[in-house]
Amino acid sequence: MASKLPTVAIIGRANAGKSSLFNRFVRSKQAIVAREAGTTRDNVLGRVTYGDHQLWMVDTAGLKDPNDEFEASIQEQITEAADAADAILVVVDSTEYVSDEDRIVAKKALRSKKPVILLLNKADLKESLPIEEFRRLGIKEIIRTSAEHSQGIEDTLDVLTDLLPAKTEREETDVIRVSLIGRPNVGKSNLFNTLAGKQQALVANIAGTTRDINRVPLKYKGQAIELLDTAGVRKQGKQEVGIEKFSVLRTLQAIEESDICFLLMDVNELNTQLDQRLAGIIDEAGKGLVVVVSKWDSVMDRDAYTRDALAPKITKTFDFVPWAPLIFTSSVTGQNVSKLFDLMLEIQIRRTQELKTRKLNDLLQKTVAAHPPAGLKNTFPKLRYMVQTDVSPPWFVIYGSNLKHLHWSYKRHLERVVRENFDLVGTAIKFSFRDEKQIKANREKAAEEAKKAAAPRKADESAEALEDEYLL
């Protein structure tokens, strides 16, 4: 997906405004922006469309001297992003004099032998320094920008589109988007890297390492897939103010954007209420769901019966989504990781299948005959026919009468029957119930209101006709 389009990396020292500019370029709030140095940790990828040109923009963490292993891994990602890019945007804070860090950034960019553009950000502020102050960095192309007021955005894109070859990429219309969802430190980023086949996401034993939605495109058996690694979601009372709340919002947005969600749980800390809540959110959103037990390699003294003993307990916790497959994985040993790809494909087939109306109605009539719905006060619901109206998720509409008396347990029964007769593994399904009497009443009411609204118009038209006749 990303191989055919030119890539532009945004680098600079921390808090120079890279993420704010990135959001302006991609015309969305895709990267987290906050007044805290080092907010962006992972490389964030976004597509930029400008006229007939398209390119990938990569937002990177702020460059600084690595003082520990975690910081060093961040710097390594920045270097990789710059090396892989077709052009580099160096961002500096124009309200501050050139620092040693700025010189290091500029030198790193120029050393790449790629086209380099220097962006003097925050140029709208009165404290902004003259352009001559920054020429000593050795970068010839300099543009004054302001993320706050979108200043210099189009100028930068004009230069980039002149520098870079006009490449086009066929838009993938059948991409399966899969999000990794879960609490902090359950192994999402490890699994993400294993699935991606490279060190794309930062991995550390620090809760909240992943903040932004980390994306990587890949293909499996000819199918385009986009993996989304998300921030760990904690209980609301344990969420930090500011950045972490942004991250949680990103996670919820990722669920909405996805086709399928992998809900990860650490095998050493299973079945929390938050896991149930996340599964409920995914179900309510109508997405595919796989419950993934991670870190299986960390279980001591496990044998062939350990999984069989754990599985029923986990399944009971998620009895409200019994259709979700359960799989035990290890990113360290690679156990069952490849099976996740096959599950992606299988679930997507089920999510997008269209069932024949005749088969649905045959099933409905057999179900009602075998187990009629209970009534209330001698008024019994009547279920006449069923149709599928949508896919992703599959959506079924049942028509009948007296449906307000249809008990929720019978609705659950109908869902179970549909699932038992049609292979809908791993996907949420939706039901709507349409009361024919109510539909008829609503139509009659709408017709009556339209008639009443038309009456004054006819009176006005008659008056206008008389007036015209008098004038003639």
Interval 36-53 mean pLDDT: 65
- The answer to whether residue 318 is domain-embedded is yes
- Residue 297, domain extent: 176-351
Q: Are residues 189 and 111 in the same domain?
A: no
What was the pLDDT predicted at 202? 45
Q: What is the CATH number of the domain that holds 389?
A: 3.30.300.20
pLDDT digits (tens, 9 = 90+) for 361-375: 999 999 999 999 988
Q: Are residues 153 and 289 in the same domain?
A: no
Please tell me whether residue 149 adopts helix, strand or coil conformation: coil
Q: What is the DSSP string of 300-327?
A: TT--TTHHHHHHHHHHHHTTTSTTS-EE
Q: Are residues 284 and 428 in the same domain?
A: no
pLDDT digits (tens, 9 = 90+) for 180-221: 999 888 888 889 888 887 544 444 444 444 455 788 888 888
Higher pLDDT, 425 or 67: 425
Q: What is the CATH number of the domain that holds 58?
A: 3.40.50.300
Cα–Cα dist 367/371, whole Å: 6
Task: Note if the pTM is more than 0.75.
Answer: no
Cα Rg of the chain (Å, integer):
29
What was the pLDDT predicted at 233? 66
- The answer to whether residue 2 is domain-embedded is no
What was the pLDDT predicted at 36? 44
pLDDT digits (tens, 9 = 90+) for 111-138: 888 899 999 999 999 999 999 999 999 9
Q: Are residues 11 and 156 in the same domain?
A: yes
- The answer to whether residue 169 is domain-embedded is no
What was the pLDDT predicted at 77? 52
What was the pLDDT predicted at 106? 87
Helix axes 337-352, 188-196, angle to 10 degrees: 90
CA 123 from chain centre, in angstroms, equals 33
Q: Are residues 146 and 279 in the same domain?
A: no
Cα–Cα dist 144/121, whole Å: 6
Nearest to 105 by CA among 85, 127, 75: 75
**Burial category of 442 from C-beta neighbours within 10 Å (exposed 0-12, middle 13-18, buried 19 and up):** exposed
- The answer to whether residue 442 is domain-embedded is yes
Q: Are residues 273 and 362 in the same domain?
A: no
Q: Are residues 442 and 316 in the same domain?
A: no
- Which of 316, 351, 386 represents a domain boundary (last residue)? 351
Q: Are residues 373 and 394 in the same domain?
A: yes
Q: Are residues 149 and 67 in the same domain?
A: yes
Mean pLDDT of the chain: 81
Q: Are residues 405 and 326 in the same domain?
A: no
Return the minimum-mean-pLDDT range out of 9-18, 254-263, 367-376, 454-463: 454-463
Cα–Cα dist 26/21, whole Å: 9
Q: Are residues 361 and 340 in the same domain?
A: no
- Count structural domains, the chain: 3
Residue 222 is encoded by which pair of tokens?
């000819």
Please tell me whether residue 227 adopts helix, strand or coil conformation: strand
Q: Are residues 347 and 367 in the same domain?
A: no
Q: Is the pLDDT of residue 30 over 80?
A: no
**Burial category of 126 from C-beta neighbours within 10 Å (exposed 0-12, middle 13-18, buried 19 and up):** exposed
Nearest to 393 by CA among 434, 348, 363, 438: 348
Return the minimum-mean-pLDDT range out of 84-98, 129-143, 154-168, 276-290: 154-168
Q: Is the pLDDT of residue 436 over 80?
A: yes
Interval 223-236 mean pLDDT: 77
316 pLDDT tier (thresholds 50, 70, 90): very high
User: Which parts of 112-162 are beta strand (E)?
Assistant: 116-121, 141-144
User: Dihedral through CA 431, CA 436, CA 438, CA 442, nearest 10?
Assistant: 110
